[in-house]
Structure 1
Amino acid sequence: MNQLTKEAEEFRGKHVADIVQKLNELSSEAAAFIVARLPIDVAAEVFDHSSLDEPQDILASLDASRAAAILDAMAADRLAYLFRDMEEPPREQLLALLTSEARSVVDSLLTHPEGSAGSLMTTEFVSVPSNWTIGETLKHVREVEGARETIYAIYVIDPTTRRLEKSVSLRRLISGDLHAPVGSVARYDAPITVLPQADREEVAHLISEYDLLAIPVVDEKRHVLGIVTVDDVIDAMIEASTEDAQKFGGMEALDEPYPDIGFLTMLKKRAGWLAVLFLSEMLTASAMQHFEDELERAVVLTLFIPLIMSSGGNSGSQATSLIIRALALGELRLKDWWRVALREAPTGAALGSFLGVIGMARIAIWQEAGIFDYGPHWFLIALTVGLALVAIVTFGSLAGSMLPFALKRLGFDPASASAPFVATLVDVSGLVIYFSVALLVLQGTLL
């Protein structure tokens, strides 16, 4: 342990993020050895850091009194987050180390659904009665700043009803008259608030829209339950975007970092979606079997199946990506689906026409240059490909843009409209459209 003792000494004065990075490289026992030699306030910051791997294992390896001191010094929101995903037996053992007050706060925060404002908030904020002066408020801020998540926003409360009246920034507070009422320096009459059931996307949108460092979470009577700080929102949105990216790739979201996922867990996360997509792709084979006679009479049509299918799938995936992002940022609502449809239909038609011209030009060039002979009806084949691309890309754009709306309306996460799922949907419909166009154009010639 001599080397670890030396490293523990070297950690003093270093940034918490650097300490966390080093601890993540060590075993739980070795990490606990170093944590035990850090000052309590620094150790608490380490466990408050969202990047720390397996915090419950490190805490379980510490002396009970040391673990209790660290837990007591942690921010309430991070403490609740720690216990939310913790498994037994460490969970019950560590809960027993909490003070009755801390356990009450954690239990209260854990009642809120994961990803909601209530689950993200901390109860460690600065609030003062509206009948206080600025001088009294500044004195109070100096006294409690070490025990609060942030002191950059002070919430002014009615001393009788306990309702939130105003929000005052520390910057405006320190520039005000010490004898003036604290509410006199509030920039706005009514602060921006959210209810505890609001989702993290809504919280992130409001913080970004109104350039806030924190947003108060209130109940129906405007009593302040806690606050969500901008750093908590960033952590939550990084986690959410990671889950969305994994879902969009056609798999379940991973609960742990990629290097820590076991082989069997990885199979479980990926096999389900792959099986669903595989079964869906069987519809493609069914569609081709339905047009078996046409394929036998015009084998040349098979040359363009990959081109047709990929173009429709790509256009659908593009539209899906744009709509999912717009829904997540609050740029679109469910009621906007018709606006999106009216926009995507001509956009898809224009993009399909663009690709159709390229496809027809490619066939003409190959035919005239002698690279490949498409037969005496090559122009009709080129026309079939061109018209099919217009129809398929238009359909792909419409289907890809409407699917997230449909999923959200049914109560599912729009991110579940993964790129492989959209591509599979458009593959099947694309084949039907392609051969239907071919029957119309090539009737009486190749078909």
Structure 2
Amino acid sequence: MPIPLKPSSYTSPPEDRKEALVLLGYEEDSVGRLMTPDYITVKKNWDVVQVLSHIRRYGKNSETIDVIYVIDDNGVLLDDIRIREILLVDPATKISDLVDDRLIALNVNDPQEEAINIFRMNNRVALPVTDDNNILLGIVTVDDILWIANEEYTEDIQKIGGTEALDEPYLDISLLKLVKKRVGWLIILFLGEMLTATAMGYFEGQIAKAVVLALFVPLIISSGGNSGSQASTLIIQAMALGEVTVADWWRVMRRELVSGLLLGITLGLIGFIRIFVWTLFSDIYGPEWMAVGFTVGFALVGIVLWGSLAGSMLPLLLKRLGLDPATSSAPFVATLVDVTGLIIYFTIAVSIMNI
């Protein structure tokens, strides 16, 4: 486990203070902050009898004895061996005979997020931590990783919801602090949504000529925002699980081009059919109902496609810029697509209805 910070009134042993200062010297979100220097190391030329004697002598102070680490005389990590492999062989067996060179190690400067993915992919209870010269510095255990993964997951969910990450449980945080965590994003999103009024004002003349177009504004912008939010959530989750990286942007774009187009065509057809059915019972859309239907249909195709592309590419772009992809939250994507969706909608309306 990472070394906890001691209360100021507690006088820690000199070796504990030294350990804490060393760990605090690493970047806040690095593997170095997670590791513990309490582990068991053995030499390659030892036999099982020597190893078991060593474990009995020093194992009590080790974070775990499930895994034993093989090092050379300079402290360079050579391999790791599970304890069961030592217990099930002849006592005269040399450690060199058990080494399989299938070593998986973390670098002390690796981000904690990367360590979470490595643990997830390799089913390990502990992983060694080395420096750039492969010197063994410590280990990270799965319980530490689970704790960090839970914190990362909670933080990402809160950011995706359009709020700053809470530092305390929801019911424990003060009301004023809770408001402060939420108000910033709400102001940004509100100012962004104000651009929709600007966009509608730009097409005021066209709306005046075909007032019926205004009836479909909520439908149009919500469909684009929903598709963008879907894509953004899927990509952020895939990135968190290590399924998608920035290098996969072209593959993601191709998939979203096809899926966004199919989704847009589906909604566009439903929109057109809805207008057609309503004309059988009402003349609310007037004699140009077909032009209105085609406008809504084609606009939905374009806006849903654009929403899917924007929602999928924005998290990857933020990651490429070194920012947190979770900040490309569903509300943020929805606001972006709302504004641009209106421009797409009225541009198509001008082209089809000649207004």
* TM-score category, normalised to shorter length: over 0.9
Write the distance in 2 (CA, Å) between the matches of 1:130 and 1:157: 7
Are residues 1:246 and 2:158 paired? yes
- Structure 2 matches for 1:364-443, cutoff 5 A? 364-368=276-280, 370=281, 373-443=284-354
Are residues 1:275 and 2:191 paired? no
Which amino acid letter does the alignment assign opposite residue 172 of structure 1? Answer: E
TM-superposed deviation, 1:358 = 0.8
Residues 332-381 of structure 1 show CA distances to partners (whole Å, capped at 9, x for unaligned) of 2222212211221121111100011111111111221x156211111111
Partner of 2:108: 196
Write the distance in 1 (CA, Å) between the matches of 2:338 and 2:351: 20
User: Tell me, which stretches of 5 or more residues in structure 1 are unaligned?
Assistant: 1-74, 84-90
CA contact (8 A) 1:249 1:418 kept: yes
CA contact (8 A) 1:201 1:329 kept: no
Partner of 2:47: 133
Which amino acid letter does the alignment assign opposite residue 93 of structure 1? Answer: S
Aligned with residue 93 of structure 1, among 9, 13, 16: 9
TM-superposed deviation, 1:146 = 2.8
CA contact (8 A) 1:176 1:185 kept: no
Q: 1:106 to 1:440 in 2, by over 3 A?
A: same
Write the distance in 2 (CA, Å) between the matches of 1:143 and 1:258: 46
Residues 68-93 of structure 1 show CA distances to partners (whole Å, capped at 9, x for unaligned) of xxxxxxx5x142xx46xxxxxxx433
- Structure 2 matches for 1:194-273, cutoff 5 A? 194-273=106-185
Partner of 1:153: 67
Residues 373-428 of structure 1 show CA distances to partners (whole Å, capped at 9, x for unaligned) of 21111111111110000000110111111101111121110111011100000000
Identity of aligned residues (%): 48
User: Tell me, which stretches of 5 or more residues in structure 2 are unaligned?
Assistant: none
Partner of 2:91: 178
Q: 1:406 to 1:223 in 2, by over 3 A?
A: same
Partner of 1:34: none
Residues 136-174 of structure 1 show CA distances to partners (whole Å, capped at 9, x for unaligned) of 21222233333221111100111x221111110011110
Are residues 1:296 and 2:212 paired? no
Partner of 1:120: 34
The alignment partner of 1:165 has SS state of strand
Write the distance in 1 (CA, Å) between the matches of 2:50 and 2:208: 89
Are residues 1:363 and 2:275 paired? yes
Write the distance in 1 (CA, Å) between the matches of 2:214 and 2:299: 13
Please identify, of 345-354 and 175-184, the stretch whose mean Cα deviation from structure 2 is larger.
Answer: 175-184
RMSD of aligned C-alpha atoms? 1.4
Write the distance in 1 (CA, Å) between the matches of 2:251 and 2:142: 32
The alignment partner of 1:397 has SS state of helix
CA contact (8 A) 1:121 1:228 kept: yes
Write the distance in 2 (CA, Å) between the matches of 1:197 and 1:372: 68
TM-superposed deviation, 1:222 = 1.2
Which structure has more relative contact order (CA 8 Å, sep 6+)? It is 2
Write the distance in 2 (CA, Å) between the matches of 1:389 and 1:183: 66
Are residues 1:334 and 2:246 paired? yes
The alignment partner of 2:27 has SS state of coil
Write the distance in 2 (CA, Å) between the matches of 1:314 and 1:184: 58
TM-superposed deviation, 1:218 = 0.1
CA contact (8 A) 2:3 2:20 kept: no
Partner of 1:4: none
TM-superposed deviation, 1:330 = 2.1
Write the distance in 1 (CA, Å) between the matches of 2:164 and 2:279: 47
Query: What is the aligned length?
Result: 355
